[in-house]
Amino acid sequence: MSVQGVVKPVVRSAVFSMAHLPGMVLSGSKPRREIVVEGEDLQRQIVASLRTFADAVAYPPHQVMIGNLSPEALEAMERPWHSKPMENASPEGPGGRFIDEATLYAWLAAGDSARLLRFSETLPQTLEDALAAHGNGIKPQRIDSTGMAEAIARGAEPFYMGDTGPVAVMMPAHDLDESLTAPVLLENAVAKVTGAIALSDLLKKTNGLPVDHLLGCGEEAVGDRYQRGGGNLAKAMGEMIPGLACGGTDVKSFCAGAVHAMILGAGLIASGMHRRVVVVGGGSLPKLGMKFRGHLQAGYPILEDMVVGVAIDMVADDGVSPVLRLDRSAFHRLGQGSAAHQMAEALSAGPLYGNNQRLSDVDRYAVELHNPDITEPAGSGNVPHNNYQILAAIAAKNGEIERAQMPEFVSAHGLPGFSPTQGHIASAVPYLPHAIAGLTSGTMQRVQFVAKASLFLGRMTGAGDGASLLIERNPALTR
Amino acid sequence: MVDLKGKLVLCLGERDGVAAPALQACVESAGAEVIYTETQCFV
């Protein structure tokens, strides 16, 4: 048996849930910390710079996320992209859909298994309608304005809709447990429902082959004081989908979680243990408004107002979908070094050169696909471009191209960044809907997905991590 | 040009730019003493 296993795993579909949540930006880690220091003036500045739902839908990079616009078309557009809203932009596409605040809040109510949410007695009609439509028959618990103010004073976390007061609060689940404070619970609940929405949408668009297992790939930590990151949010997401009867496990490796999970899921299929594995990930609430300072300074709207979930469908070979090449996958190993060029050698060049392929043989590389409109005003640079420069340099060093051809290599094999800065969501996988289309109905032959992880942020190691996976056109399509 | 010999250096790196250990290796090779390193990630 080869390393590829007895069954060929393929990837059929990837779906993103794009929740536009300006009413939760104040719960982002950076705004929360800065407002404590600077007070209400700063809060007013942030609120005044938030986008509308229509703005978020018309934002060209978001249209790439849901598959309505190609990365190549985005690349050709002048930046900043928020100044080039797309006319007649649809909130739905082949790669996902937008979720407005009211719908997301209703999903929060439907998923509130511990009954910790309290909604205001007077809500906008759109939210009342959403609660009736998506609240899963659960009658939300209500609270009057005095009770809400008292709850917030005792640590409840408010969230908003428009410029009125809070529409609801998440209550703390314990007086003294730091793992069950209201901000932590709201973060986890938002991750749970954004992942569950993506999973629900994925299951609606794919056939009824039973799901055997869910692999969670998020960065949240679910647990109480005795098991702060106990996890298995994958099962909590799956529980929200009627009729789903599968197992679940969380895979953790910071931003590289999704690619790690894809490799492990493909391994479960290749071994014959499972026929269908879905990778699910919820979005990151703390990253809302992470770079608001840079955006305010540049006169931009607050571009970090999106929480994004993902679901990725992997099955045994169906004769059509792109093949997950486990024999050309890689996990970053201890001792390989964490500098950018060492990562690229280990994750991109290694699996290719080790199998008599060249970097130039890959049509496109999906790397850290963070939107440069978001990162550059805050001084974080153009992250994908930096990654492609390293790949081009390795190709030049190994004699595949001349040094002068590096810009051409970047243009031919790279992509513009188009993902919201949502950590594990932005790491390679946003290109999946485009890659699956290009490798089935298009002319592409192979795409490499490369994800990196900042393990050092947790202060337990100075090391980084990463994983890569090559996805190829199904050979049955060319026979 | 700064002569780093004998200087105390704080190395603040960025994951997708130049990581702190790489900065540390460079400045130590030029004779500096590194007293703090940290790599950050802002995405």
Tokens of A142: 């209500």
Banded model confidence at residue A59, pLDDT cuts 50, 70, 90: very high
Average pLDDT of the residues of chain A? 96
Residue of B nearest to A466 (CA): B15
pLDDT in tens, A224-275: 999 999 999 999 999 999 999 999 999 999 999 999 999 999 999 999 999 9
Give the whole-angstrom CA distance, residue A309 versus residue A103: 14
Tokens of A403: 């040094």
Among A231-240, A461-470, B10-19, which is the least confidently predicted range? B10-19
- Helices assigned H by DSSP within A60-124: 60-65, 71-75, 101-110
A184, A230 contact by CB (below 8 A): no
What's this model's pTM, rounded to 2 decimal places?
A: 0.96
A366, A417 contact by CB (below 8 A): no
Task: Write the residue in A375, A456, A462 that is nearest to B43 by C-beta.
Answer: A375
- Whether A462 has a pLDDT exceeding 90, the answer reads no
> A263 or B40: whose pLDDT is higher?
A263
- B43–A387: do the CB atoms touch at under 8 Å? no
pLDDT in tens, A348-378: 999 999 999 999 999 999 999 999 999 999 9
Q: What integer pLDDT is reported at residue A4 of this predicted model?
A: 55
Q: What integer pLDDT is reported at residue B42 of this predicted model?
A: 78
Task: Write the residue in A255, A381, A457 that is nearest to B17 by C-beta.
Answer: A381
A423 close to B (CB below 8 A): yes
Please report residues of A whose CB lies closer than 8 A to that of B40: 457
Range A15-20 average pLDDT: 98
pLDDT in tens, A268-300: 999 999 999 999 999 999 999 999 999 999 999
Q: What integer pLDDT is reported at residue A287 of this predicted model?
A: 98
Q: How far is the CA of A457 from the CAs of A101, A329, A465, B22, in angstroms?
A: 31, 25, 12, 17
Angle at A241 between CA A237 and CA A246, to 5 degrees: 75
Q: What percent of chain A has pLDDT over 90?
A: 94
- A368–B43: do the CB atoms touch at under 8 Å? yes
Range A423-446 average pLDDT: 97
Q: What integer pLDDT is reported at residue B1 of this predicted model?
A: 82
Distance in Å, alpha carbon of B14 to nearest chain A alpha carbon = 8
Q: How far is the CA of A4 from the CAs of A175, A329, A439, B4, in angstroms?
A: 51, 10, 19, 51
B40 close to A (CB below 8 A): yes
Structure ipTM = 0.80
- Whether A468 has a pLDDT exceeding 80, the answer reads yes
Range A126-131 average pLDDT: 96
- Whether A1 has a pLDDT exceeding 50, the answer reads no
- Whether A335 has a pLDDT exceeding 80, the answer reads yes
Mutate to test the interface with A, among B11, B26, B37, B42 (most CBs of A within 10 A): B42
